[in-house]
Amino acid sequence: MSTVTVDAPARSEVRSGLTFGGVLHSEWIKLRSVRSSGLTLLAAALMMIVTGLIFAATFGSDSDGANGVTDPTGVTLTGAMFAQLVVGVLGVLTVSSEYSTGMIRSTLTGVPSRLPVLAGKVAVVVGAVFPVMLATAFAVFLGGQALMSGNGHPSAAVGDPGVLAALVGSAATMSGVAVIGVALGSVLRNTAGAISTLVAVMFLVPGLGSLVLPASWRDDVLRFLPSNASDAFVSVAPGPNLLGAPAGAAVFAVWVVVPLVVAAVLLRRRDA
């Protein structure tokens, strides 16, 4: 008579009747029950709206090149670069807060195989960030375009070529940055360290690279950084130094997936 061997984590999860749906529900409750999660997401939305409307309202007030703008959509989405940092912090806190309180031990005891926990955190963060930031992108776009049109500047409509893709791409980018935050929080297990790394990768490295890299191959390197890669598929009129939209999306996806894979491997191998 043959026997089937089931490892201890699997036996534990079978006994407890654990499903990924249960893990997902648990992670959603954690995210929703922490007041700072909602406030952080609200802060990201407000930052994007206020910044975008300010840029739209004051566009051209200090220059005479306003009528030559080629991307009115980009003007109203200017606040996205600041909102990215905020949603990235939300992603970090989703994981690092459990390590700081020791709650992660209970979480991983209940889910011995561990990887569903990481997948659940990614799913709830994306599920929270994407719809909110997509609605925010539409709101600031419509309000900003109305302001620009009222001031006599070029404006765009949702149906114009590339505009819808830019709005959806903006929300997708912020969701991706939030996932990077989740991965960094899991890898580093420290809130300050993970946030500092996120800021460095998304904001400091591109600026420093433009200063220290030789001009002959500066663009060839910087276009592969996550912030520039996302600009390639978020901009209606991307600059000549950026990748094409499909290539930019692929490169940005790599920046999201690789830290997540590292986080998954370390989560399986390290003690809680």
Burial class from Cβ neighbours inside 10 Å (0-12, 13-18, 19+) for residue 164 reads middle
Q: How many angstroms separate the CA atoms of 227 and 173, rounded?
A: 9
pLDDT of residue 245: 83
Q: How many angstroms separate the CA atoms of 185 and 90, rounded?
A: 10
User: Which of 167, 82, 92, 161 lies closest to 130, judged by CA?
Assistant: 167
Quick one: what percent of the chain has pLDDT higher than 90? 39
pLDDT of residue 35: 79
Q: Average pLDDT, whole number, for the chain? A: 83
Q: How many angstroms separate the CA atoms of 98 and 176, rounded?
A: 21
Which of helix, strand or coil describes residue 183?
A: helix
Among 102-111, 132-141, 191-200, where is mean pLDDT lowest? 102-111
Q: Cβ–Cβ contacts within 10 Å for residue 141, how many?
A: 26
**Whether residue 197 has pLDDT greater than 80:** yes
Conformational region of residue 152, where left means phi above 0, alpha means psi within -120 to 50, and beta covers everything else: left
**Whether residue 2 has pLDDT greater than 60:** no
**Whether residue 200 has pLDDT greater than 70:** yes
How many Cα atoms occupy the beta-carbon half-sphere of 175 within 13 Å?
23
Q: Are 22 and 113 in contact (CB under 8 A)?
A: no
| Confidence band of 11 (pLDDT split at 50, 70, 90) | very low
**Whether residue 7 has pLDDT greater than 70:** no
Q: Are 170 and 81 in contact (CB under 8 A)?
A: no
pLDDT of residue 203: 84
| Confidence band of 4 (pLDDT split at 50, 70, 90) | very low
The per-residue pLDDT for range 201-219, each reduced to its tens digit, is 888 887 787 777 777 677 7
pLDDT of residue 216: 66
The per-residue pLDDT for range 46-100, each reduced to its tens digit, is 999 999 999 888 875 544 444 445 678 888 898 888 899 999 999 999 998 888 8
Name the residue with higher pLDDT: 168 or 220: 168
The per-residue pLDDT for range 133-185, each reduced to its tens digit, is 999 999 999 999 988 888 777 778 888 888 899 999 999 999 999 999 999 99
Q: How many angstroms separate the CA atoms of 202 and 83, rounded?
A: 12
pLDDT of residue 185: 93
| Confidence band of 17 (pLDDT split at 50, 70, 90) | low
User: Which of 112, 267, 190 lies closest to 181, judged by CA?
Assistant: 190
pLDDT of residue 69: 58
